[in-house]
Amino acid sequence: MVVLTMDDRAPTYSRTKKTPIQEIRASLNTAVSTPFWLDQPQRPPVTPALLEDTTADLLVVGGGYCGLWTALIAKERNPQLDVVLIEGNEIGWAASGRNGGFCESSLTHGEENGRRHFTEDLPTLSRLAAQNFQDFQDTLVRYDIDAEYENTGLLTVATEEYQVAALKRASQEGGSSTRTFYDSRSIQTMMTSPVFRAGMFESDGIALVHPAKLVWGLKRACQQLGVRIFESTPAVKLRGESQCVTVETSTALIRSRKVALATNGFPSLLKRARFLTIPVYDYVLATRPLTRAQLDDIGWASRFGITDSSRQFHYYRLTSDNRIIWGGYDAIYHRGGKVRPAYDQRPATFETLADHFFITFPQLRGISFTHAWGGMIDMSTQFVAFHGLALGGRVAYSAGYTGLGVGATRFGAQVMLDLLSGHSTELTQLKMVRCKPVPIPPEPFAYPAIQLTRRAIDKSDANGGRDGLLLRSMELFGVGFDS
């Protein structure tokens, strides 16, 4: 077994490689670019595109989790409703089929962020979050969706000394009975890694799913309830008419009484929503399946998900065949703010991720990665989804989930349907629904501003978590950069 020793002064993770570069490249050289989750024999065939004009009571644009939940819940609320869902590409090809599969109950991108932006609504939000988490699970059972749902909990580890006290404090907050703190010695009974200095295990409100099986299961459930789904059907324009909204697709027109836009960080059909998100790319590796001996070497006996505590954090978990999914750290914004398939591959980030993997698990040096991919995240400046209405209340939109949309998109779907109902409900009264995040400046200002922020975040991580002037000022204005 190879053991790395820790230099206490240097940050554990940085862009400077600690593993020999030839070894990193060898571990990556057979990795395919298809996301592991989508590289499955049960990937369903693509449904045909819409070729003739049609009408609907509700048209959903976007076939990721948010759109599918919207269509599903709309049919559950009113089975008579004629619901059409159009997807520009293939259901689940984007974030919903390529994410880490961490399903967190939080609707506020974590407690701290919730306290920062929505203090007055916190008790309501935590009740709604718990309800949404339970309803999510119940839906999988109701429609027999095998999304490999595992209620595992989450281990958050400190990989730097300054992070230990914060984890300890978090584990004691509010006399929590679901959180356990592990010090430098006891953490090694949870997992064996030379970089773990402490950890906090949260047993409540965190599950793991197979992202693509979830999206495919939701598609099937929608079809069972009578939702008409058309793939390869991008919406290009919408306009309000007296009694309906007309949506122009590349092949036909749809006249619908109501429209729900679930298009994530793709260019919105509504001008007003375009400056509320930016596309940030997040990258992921999957190893080949670990043997029993390799699993024993790292001591990952329970199947909990793991994240670390730096601002640029990693997330990792096991698949059902015991591969490690290892993602995060770099959050890349490409100049011009475009969404492009070419951005799903970034060799420099894959090498950084592989280096960090071997720093964390030197026991696994020599293992190869079978899949390496990236995906677009719809970052909003509060890291929390925003929702709204347009065209006289006939069009709703929901986006901005910032890397935590597996569970929260189900809630966003309900918000859109409540907004479209025209009634005031508990959800439509939330500050999170009434107020929009601070917009992001357009190009050419966005790119340099984001590069400056990324550098400041790098510095903060290397500097014991101490934020410089830029990050402190941004905090003051309720603005942040994350994935």
Ligand X SMILES: Cc1cc2nc3c(=O)[nH]c(=O)nc-3n(C[C@H](O)[C@H](O)[C@H](O)COP(=O)(O)OP(=O)(O)OC[C@H]3O[C@@H](n4cnc5c(N)ncnc54)[C@H](O)[C@@H]3O)c2cc1C
Chain residues binding ligand X by CB under 6 A are: 61-67, 86-89, 93-96, 98-102, 104, 234-235, 262-264, 266, 269, 282, 284, 327, 375-377, 401, 403-406, 409
| 87 phi, psi to nearest 5 deg | -125, 130
Q: Taking the complex as a whole, how short is the minimal distance between the CB of residue 74 and ligand X, in angstroms?
A: 15
Name the residue nearer to ligand X (CB basis): 349 or 409: 409
Q: How far is the CB of 202 from ligand X (least distance, A)?
A: 15
* Minimum CB distance to ligand X smaller for 4 or for 339: 339
Contact 167, 158 (CB under 8 A): yes
Round to whole Å and give the CA distance between 303 and 109: 23
The bridge status of strand 314-318 relative to strand 305-308 is: antiparallel
Question: Least distance to ligand X from the beta carbon of 194, Å?
Answer: 25
Backbone angles phi, psi at 56, to 5 degrees: -155, 160
Q: Which is nearer to ligand X, 86 or 276 (CB)?
A: 86
Name the β-bridge partners of 15.
none
Q: How far is CA 84 from CA 81, 140, 232, 467, in A?
A: 10, 22, 14, 47
In the complex with ligand X, the residue whose CB is nearer, 96 or 171, is: 96
What is the smallest separation between the CB atom of 181 and ligand X, expressed in angstroms?
A: 24
Q: Report which secondary-structure segment, H or E, holds 76.
A: helix 65-77
Cβ nearer to ligand X, comparing 36 with 164: 36
CB of 233 to ligand X, least distance (A): 7
Fill in the amino acid letter for 380. S
What are the two backbone dihedrals, phi and then psi, of residue 274, each rounded to the nearest 5 degrees?
A: -70, -30
Q: In this complex, which beta carbon is closest to ligand X, that of residue 201 or of residue 266?
A: 266
| Shortest spacing between CB 347 and ligand X, in angstroms | 16
Report the nearest approach of ligand X to the CB of residue 244 (Å): 18
Q: Which is nearer to ligand X, 59 or 471 (CB)?
A: 59
Distance CA 253, CA 44 (A): 26
Max alpha carbon distance in the chain (Å)?
A: 71
Residue number of the CB closest to ligand X reads 405
Report angle CA 365, 369, 374 to the nearest 5 degrees.
130
Could you tell me the smallest distance in angstroms from the CB atom of residue 69 to ligand X? 8
Task: Give the 3-state secondary structure of residue 365.
Answer: coil
Question: Tokens in use for 461?
Answer: 């991580």
Q: Residue 409: count other Cβ atoms within 10 Å of its Cβ.
A: 26
Q: Which is nearer to ligand X, 406 or 419 (CB)?
A: 406
Work out whether strand 54-61 and strand 253-261 pair parallel, antiparallel, or are unpaired: parallel
